[in-house]
Copies of this chain bind each other. A is one copy, B any other.
Amino acid sequence: MRVMGVDPGLTRCGVGVVEGAPGKPLRLVRVDVVRTSPDDDIALRLLGIETGIAALLDELRPDAVAVERVFSQHNVRTVMGTAQAAGVAMLLAARRGLPVAMHTPSEAKAAVTGNGRADKAQVTMMVTRLLRLDAAPRPADAADALALAICHVWRGGARTRLDQARLAARAGRGKGGVGQ
């Protein structure tokens, strides 16, 4: 199972692609950050995020996309942009028929370190170890996206299968489609 994890943001949107299955070794496929300039209009920035993630999806063809769940605890403007970047990632996945899952930052941290409140250094160390890399993945701030992808490989597969069963059941009841 190949999973793309997306740590959404307008200025820096982390993307980590990992291959694996529960109980089997993990493999790093790609780690990258899509950047847009704070000087640009929000619309142009969302277009930049779309272009960057679309290119990675088309090249790397993951089986599923895991997006970090956005909370509104911080600065409102930042949260809106983050939510919109997350929306673009979900939209791109849906357009390709890929299942989308959301995991919280705590779920991702707990998956790779056993502690939902682990700090960045600890997450990076465990991601490096779990992917059997010689050095911490670069860019450094994409470690969260990799943790998210690993989290999904380990616990999201089941959820994805459940979602698919639910979608199939719903389609069977004539309730499928985008419902416009």
Instruction: With A84-B84, A88-B87, A94-B47 as known contacts, state yes or no: A40 contacts B163, CB within 8 Å.
Output: no
Q: How far is the CB of A141 from chain B (nearest CB, A)?
A: 15
CA distance A48 to B91 in the complex (A): 9
Q: Which of A16-24, A30-38, A113-121, A146-154 contacts B (4 or more CB under 8 A)?
A: A30-38
CA distance A83 to B80 in the complex (A): 6
Kindly state whether residue A134 has any CB partner on chain B within 8 Å: no
**Set B34, B35, B41: member contacting A100, Cβ < 8 A:** B41
A128-180 interface (Cβ within 8 A of B): 163, 167, 170, 175, 178-180
CA distance A71 to B52 in the complex (A): 27
Q: How far is the CB of A135 from chain B (nearest CB, A)?
A: 25
Question: Most B CB atoms within 10 A — which of A76, A100, A179?
Answer: A179
CA distance A100 to B95 in the complex (A): 23
Contact A87 B83 (CB under 8 A): yes
CA distance A178 to B47 in the complex (A): 7
- Chain A contacts to B: CB under 8 angstroms: 34-37, 39-48, 50-52, 70-72, 76, 79-80, 83-88, 90-91, 93-95, 100, 163, 167, 170, 175, 178-180
